[in-house]
Each structure stands twice: as C-alpha cells, then as structure tokens.
C-alpha cells in the first residue's frame, strides 16, 4: 500500500472492479501524482468536516476506464482531481449540506442521484459549484444547488 495522507492510500484512488474485469491498467501516471496527492489532502478536510470516514467508490480513472463507465471526456476523475464517495455520516444530500455549511473548499460538489457524492478540486481556483444530478426522461440533468 502507498500511503498518500493519514487516512488515504493510492490504492483507494485506483481500484475499480470495471478496470479489473476489463483488464484496464488504471495506475496513476507520474505526471498526475501531484493532483492525486492534492485530492487526498483535500479529502482529509472533507473527512474532518464530516467527523466520519469516507469510502471512495471511484477516484482516478484513466481515459479508457472513464469511457467505459460513461464519464464525460473532460471529467476531473481523469486528472486525479475528483472522487465519488459515500459516508456513514448520512445521505448524499446531508453530506453535501454539511460540507457547504462547514466551508469546505471544492471546485464542484454534486449530489448524485441520492446515491453518492462527487467532489472535485482545482489546484488553482476552487469555484464552490454545488449541483444535484437527477434523471429526467431517462437522461441525467444537473440542477443548481441541493435538491
Ligand atoms: Zn464523479
């Protein structure tokens, strides 16, 4: 195991059942390691704001894996700057609300389908964008704020 910060390992960022199944090499390239390290540092602040562990369900995605899971090509996951996660703190909406209330910095925070939370960071400028992903007519739409 490669430890990034006190509570997060590199393996938590790269593991993917889809990558395993399709034999996709989802290791983080050297040029993106600084981003993953930054994300781990930011996630420590998320964990602190929640007072509970967080479980990363999807972290870094190489372009091949990202395409397989239906991510947009420009996804922050492909840069090592975003994770999807859950926490025993509460529902995705409760988690998002707590992070906003606690003043945690992020570029983008998305309450995804009442199932998980997406959080993305920027190395330079965090925009504090809050969205809710929901299905409308079979298509995913992104609504402003927490719904
Ligand atoms: Zn995501």
Question: What residue segments make up the domains of the chain, in order of their start?
Answer: 10-144
HSE value, Cβ hemisphere, 13 Å, CA-based, for 26: 28
In the reported structure, the alpha carbon of residue 55 is separated from the centroid of ligand 1 by a whole-number distance in angstroms of 13
Q: What is the pLDDT of residue 5?
A: 98
In the reported structure, the alpha carbon of residue 78 is separated from the centroid of ligand 1 by a whole-number distance in angstroms of 10
Q: What is the mean pLDDT of the chain?
A: 97
Q: What is the pLDDT of residue 114?
A: 96
Q: Does the pLDDT value for residue 72 go beyond 90?
A: no
Mean pLDDT of 84-100: 98
Residue 96, C-beta contacts closer than 8 angstroms, at least 6 positions apart: 109, 110, 111, 117, 130, 146
In the reported structure, the alpha carbon of residue 88 is separated from the centroid of ligand 1 by a whole-number distance in angstroms of 18
What fold, for 10-144? Muramoyl-pentapeptide Carboxypeptidase; domain 2 (3.30.1380)
In the reported structure, the alpha carbon of residue 25 is separated from the centroid of ligand 1 by a whole-number distance in angstroms of 19
Q: What is the pLDDT of residues 8-59, one digit of tens each?
A: 999 999 999 999 999 999 999 999 999 999 999 999 999 999 999 999 999 9
| HEC-encoded secondary structure of 76-117 | HHHHCCEEEEEECCCCHHHHHHHHHHCCCCCCEEEEECCCEE
pTM: 0.96
In the reported structure, the alpha carbon of residue 28 is separated from the centroid of ligand 1 by a whole-number distance in angstroms of 17
């Amino acid at each position: 195991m490669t430890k990034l910060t006190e509570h997060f390992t590199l393996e938590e960022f790269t593991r993917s059942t889809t990558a395993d199944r399709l034999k996709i090499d989802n290791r983080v390239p050297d040029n993106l390691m600084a981003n993953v390290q930054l994300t781990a540092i930011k996630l420590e602040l998320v964990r602190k704001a929640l007072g509970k562990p967080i479980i990363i369900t999807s972290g870094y995605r190489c372009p091949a894996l990202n395409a397989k899971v239906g991510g947009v090509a420009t996804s922050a996951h492909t840069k090592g700057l975003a994770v999807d996660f859950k926490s025993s703190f509460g529902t995705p909406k409760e988690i998002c609300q707590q992070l906003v209330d606690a003043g945690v910095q992020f570029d983008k925070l998305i309450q995804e389908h009442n199932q998980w939370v997406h959080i993305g960071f920027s190395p330079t400028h965090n925009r504090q964008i809050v969205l809710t992903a929901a299905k409308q007519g079979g298509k995913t739409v992104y609504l402003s704020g927490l719904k």
